[in-house]
């Protein structure tokens, strides 16, 4: 009867070791934010600048979203790939 708890503890120790090993894997991909299909068209330093860029893109009929830059240097403006060229033209106009 004593062997049943020992088997259970052994299995738990094995699982704990595997989980500890798996959680210690440090890859760039694990820490990178993925925004799916969205592509960056602009990088701005402040939320005010991001609002101006988003408003300009909205006027051009382009859907956009703003996300923080992974390095903490401002904000990124993202659009869908199909809208990328229109977004760039709208931002470069004037």
Q: What is the pLDDT of residue 54?
A: 95
pLDDT at 69 (0 to 100): 86
Give domain limits for the chain.
Answer: 35-92
Q: Which CATH architecture has domain 35-92?
A: 2-Layer Sandwich (3.30)
Q: What is the pLDDT of residue 84?
A: 94
Tokens of 60: 């051009």
Q: Cα(50)–Cα(57) distance, rounded to whole angstroms?
A: 11
What is residue 22's predicted lDDT score, i.e. its pLDDT?
76
Question: Is 67 in contact with 44 (CB distance < 8 Å)?
Answer: no
Residue with tokens 């009867």: 1
Exposed/middle/buried for 32, CB within 10 Å: 0-12, 13-18, 19+?
exposed
3-state helix, strand, coil in the chain (%, to 5): 55, 15, 30
Local mean pLDDT, 10-residue blocks, the chain (94 residues): 85 90 63 76 94 95 92 90 94 84
């Amino acid at each position: 009867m004593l062997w049943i708890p020992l088997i259970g503890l052994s299995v738990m120790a094995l699982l704990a070791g595997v989980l500890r090993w798996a959680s210690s894997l440090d890859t760039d991909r694990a820490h990178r934010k993925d925004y799916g299909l969205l592509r960056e068209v602009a990088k701005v330093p402040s939320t005010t600048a991001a609002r101006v860029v988003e408003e300009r893109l909205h006027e051009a009929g382009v859907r956009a979203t703003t996300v923080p830059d992974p390095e903490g240097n401002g904000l990124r403006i993202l659009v869908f790939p199909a809208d990328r060229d229109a977004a760039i033209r709208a931002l470069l106009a004037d």
